[in-house]
């Protein structure tokens, strides 16, 4: 199997040859079906769970054609808003494979679930939200629990602190148990944070939610009720990783869960991995419009910036790789800043890289743009969204998933 880099170098050449990159395509975005299938197959193998719904987080990569493919492979989708639920439906996802996690659902949206989305997996964010539900919901109801653990996630992605807006703090255990007895709750949900540096904390968090489920099931049985918590949704949160022949972090995570939470394999399991599933499945091409020397630094201007790699420009670079194409590779290595096209001072994809001296007319390949990039497209400066191409590097096939488009003008 080709590496992402090998695929990208082949795909850019082939896309040009086949006319997918034409006049005016100053930048193009690529999605690797081959890598994506590999990641999702790996996820399935790592958990090897008899009753699992791997619901990939839509917010990480919401392109409808990509969602359609994920659904076609049998996976589910995690929706953070009603709009994402509609996207999931448009991509052909049956309601029972959609996990609806919006933290701010309206009463009207709940009615829509009751009327048209029977079976959708509905997680409430607060106990108060339970009062908004119909008494006999046509969908399974879960409660999002805030496990109150420190996962080492960067502060913008950390959701499990005391005053988090996400979920019901596990410290309110009696209120949660009372709610489980009083409302038709059958699942518990926990997502401890994104880009977690310490997955042990996530395992501890899942253990505490599992204990809560077991205790709730004891109380339901004592109350003579047949209903049980039968589903645990463990969220996502793992850092991206390059898959090799060595055991992966995803496998280590699943194994740690098997050791610490063996009962999880007797519940229905839901996962919601976003960036782990997509990070190494995307790449982008841009023309270098021009390059100038500023002191000791070469500044190369390209056609995607903070509008595409918003997190990288505003928070910090997340590990994109920049590869000059063609003749550029033979030039001397110089200190380089990659400047985006937006009219704001922070619009750099990365600074102080050591790259062959870039010149006007060169091409630049950017690897690892698969997650939270196209998904976060910003209208700042209202620039055109490049065409998106899907690449199957086994079948040597490239198709256009969407044309170059500007929804803003
Ligand atoms: C509820 C929920 N599930 C899943 C995810 C996906 O997280 P990640 O991309 O870190 O796997 C998020 C991310 O914000 C989330 O809020």
Instruction: Give the pLDDT confidence of 66-78 residue by residue, as tens digits.
Output: 999 999 999 999 9
Task: Report the pLDDT averaged over residues 30-35.
Answer: 98
Q: Confidence class of residue 156 from pLDDT cuts 50, 70 and 90?
A: low
Task: Report the pLDDT averaged over residues 260-286.
Answer: 98
Least confident of 41-45, 141-145, 189-193: 189-193
Mapping DSSP to helix (H, G, I), strand (E, B) and coil, where does residue 230 land?
Answer: coil
Whichever domain contains 188, its CATH number is 3.20.20.10
Strand ranges (E), 34-73: 52-57
Q: Confidence class of residue 151 from pLDDT cuts 50, 70 and 90?
A: confident
As separate numbers, helices (DSSP H) first and strands (DSSP E) second, the chain gives 10, 18
How close is the Cα of 59 to the center of ligand 1, in Å?
A: 8
Mutate to test the pocket of ligand 1, among 98, 209, 236, 240 (most ligand atoms within 8 A of CB): 236
Q: Are residues 239 and 310 in the same domain?
A: no
DSSP H helical segments within 261-298, as ranges? 275-278
Nearest residue to 141 (alpha-carbon basis) of 204, 14, 229: 229
Predicted pLDDT at 164? 77
How close is the Cα of 97 to the center of ligand 1, in Å?
A: 16
Q: Which atom of ligand 1 is nearest to the CA of 371?
A: 9
Residue with the larger pLDDT of the pair 81 and 161: 81
Q: Is the pLDDT of residue 157 over 80?
A: no
Q: Confidence class of residue 158 from pLDDT cuts 50, 70 and 90?
A: low
Whether 47 maps to a domain, the answer reads yes
Task: Report the pLDDT averaged over residues 32-48.
Answer: 98
CB of 249 within 8 A of CB of 261? no
Mean pLDDT of the chain: 96
Predicted pLDDT at 195? 83
Q: Which helix or strand (DSSP H or E) is residue 349 part of? A: strand 348-356
Label residues 314-350 b or e (16+ Cβ within 10 Å = b). eeeebebebbbbeebeeeeebebbbbbbbeeeebbbb
How close is the Cα of 275 to the center of ligand 1, in Å?
A: 8
Q: Is the pLDDT of residue 234 over 80?
A: yes
Q: Confidence class of residue 21 from pLDDT cuts 50, 70 and 90?
A: very high
Q: Confidence class of residue 135 from pLDDT cuts 50, 70 and 90?
A: very high
Backbone angles phi, psi at 324, to 5 degrees: -65, 140
Tokens found for residue 128: 């108060």
Whether 407 maps to a domain, the answer reads no
Predicted pLDDT at 329? 85
Q: Is the pLDDT of residue 162 over 80?
A: no
Q: Are residues 14 and 52 in the same domain?
A: no
Q: Are residues 100 and 217 in the same domain?
A: yes
Whether 409 maps to a domain, the answer reads no
Last residue of one domain, picked from the residues 277, 296, 312: 277
Q: Count CB atoms within 10 A of the CB of residue 236.
A: 23
Q: Is the pLDDT of residue 159 over 90?
A: no
Whole-angstrom distance, CA of residue 38 vs CA of residue 279: 12
- Give per-residue pLDDT as tens, 344-366: 999 999 999 999 999 999 999 99
Last residue of one domain, picked from the residues 277, 294, 326: 277
How close is the Cα of 145 to the center of ligand 1, in Å?
A: 14
Question: Residue of the nearest CA to atom 16 in ligand 1?
Answer: 191
Q: Which atom of ligand 1 is nearest to the CA of 101?
A: 1
Tokens found for residue 119: 């079976």
Whole-angstrom distance, CA of residue 170 vs CA of residue 157: 19
Whole-angstrom distance, CA of residue 112 vs CA of residue 383: 35
How close is the Cα of 288 to the center of ligand 1, in Å?
A: 34
Domain that holds residue 135: 33-277
Question: Residue of the nearest CA to atom 14 in ligand 1?
Answer: 194
Whether 144 maps to a domain, the answer reads yes
Q: Are residues 19 and 153 in the same domain?
A: no
Q: Which atom of ligand 1 is nearest to the CA of 159?
A: 16
Whether 408 maps to a domain, the answer reads no
Whichever domain contains 349, its CATH number is 2.40.37.10
Please tell me what DSSP assigns to residue 313.
Answer: H
Ligand 1 neighbours, Cβ below 6 Å, are: 57, 60, 78, 101, 191, 194, 235-237, 272-276
Q: Is the pLDDT of residue 398 over 80?
A: yes
Backbone angles phi, psi at 392, to 5 degrees: -110, 105
Within its chain, how far is the Cα of 249 from the centroid? 17
How close is the Cα of 149 to the center of ligand 1, in Å?
A: 16
Q: Is the pLDDT of residue 160 over 80?
A: no
Whole-angstrom distance, CA of residue 138 vs CA of residue 103: 20
How close is the Cα of 281 to the center of ligand 1, in Å?
A: 17
Name residues whose C-beta falls within 8 Å of residue 378's C-beta, 6 or more positions apart in sequence: 306, 307, 310
Question: Residue of the nearest CA to atom 5 in ligand 1?
Answer: 236
Q: Is the pLDDT of residue 13 over 90?
A: yes
Count the domains in the chain: 2
Report angle CA 182, 103, 208 to the nearest 5 degrees: 60
Q: Are residues 137 and 244 in the same domain?
A: yes
Last residue of one domain, picked from the residues 246, 277, 308: 277
| Length of the chain counted residue by residue | 409
Q: Are residues 149 and 126 in the same domain?
A: yes
Mutate to test the pocket of ligand 1, among 78, 274, 370 (most ligand atoms within 8 A of CB): 274
Whole-angstrom distance, CA of residue 275 vs CA of residue 38: 14
Q: Confidence class of residue 197 from pLDDT cuts 50, 70 and 90?
A: confident
């Amino acid at each position: 199997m080709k590496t992402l880099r090998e695929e990208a170098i082949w795909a850019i050449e082939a896309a040009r040859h086949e006319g997918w990159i034409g006049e005016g395509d100053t930048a193009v975005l690529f999605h690797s079906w081959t890598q994506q299938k590999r990641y999702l197959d790996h996820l399935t193998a790592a958990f090897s769970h008899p009753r699992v719904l791997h619901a990939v987080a839509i917010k990480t990569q919401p392109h409808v054609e990509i969602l359609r493919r994920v659904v076609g492979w049998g996976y589910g989708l995690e929706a953070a808003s009603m709009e994402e639920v509609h996207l999931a439906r448009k991509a052909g996802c049956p309601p029972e494979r959609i996990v609806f996690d919006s933290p701010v659902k309206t009463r009207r949206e709940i009615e829509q679930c009751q009327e048209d989305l029977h079976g959708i997996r509905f997680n409430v964010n607060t106990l108060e939200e339970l009062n908004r539900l119909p008494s006999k919901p046509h969908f399974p109801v879960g409660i999002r629990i805030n496990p109150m653990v420190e996962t080492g996630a960067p502060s913008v992605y950390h959701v499990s602190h005391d005053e988090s807006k996400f979920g019901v703090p596990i410290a309110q255990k009696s209120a949660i148990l009372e709610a489980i007895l009083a409302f038709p709750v059958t699942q518990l949900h926990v997502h401890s944070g994104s880009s977690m540096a310490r997955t042990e904390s996530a395992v501890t968090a899942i253990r505490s939610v599992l204990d809560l489920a077991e205790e709730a099931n004891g109380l339901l049985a004592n109350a003579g009720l047949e209903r049980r918590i039968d589903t645990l949704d463990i969220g996502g949160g793992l850092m991206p990783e390059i898959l090799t022949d060595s055991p992966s972090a995803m496998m280590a995570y699943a194994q740690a869960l098997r050791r610490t939470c063996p009962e999880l394999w007797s519940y229905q399991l839901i996962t919601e991995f976003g960036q782990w599933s997509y990070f190494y499945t995307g790449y982008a091409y841009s023309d270098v419009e021009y390059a100038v020397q500023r002191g000791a630094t070469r500044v190369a201007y390209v056609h995607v910036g903070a509008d595409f790699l918003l997190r990288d420009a505003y928070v910090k670079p997340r590990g994109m790789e920049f590869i000059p194409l063609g003749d550029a590779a033979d030039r001397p290595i110089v200190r380089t800043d990659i400047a985006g096209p937006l009219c704001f001072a922070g619009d750099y994809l990365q600074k102080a890289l050591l790259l062959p001296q870039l010149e006007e007319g060169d091409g630049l390949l950017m690897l690892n743009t698969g997650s939270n990039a196209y998904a976060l497209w910003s209208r700042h400066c209202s620039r055109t969204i490049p065409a998106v191409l899907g690449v199957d590097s086994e079948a040597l096939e490239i198709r256009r998933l969407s044309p170059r488009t500007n929804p803003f003008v």
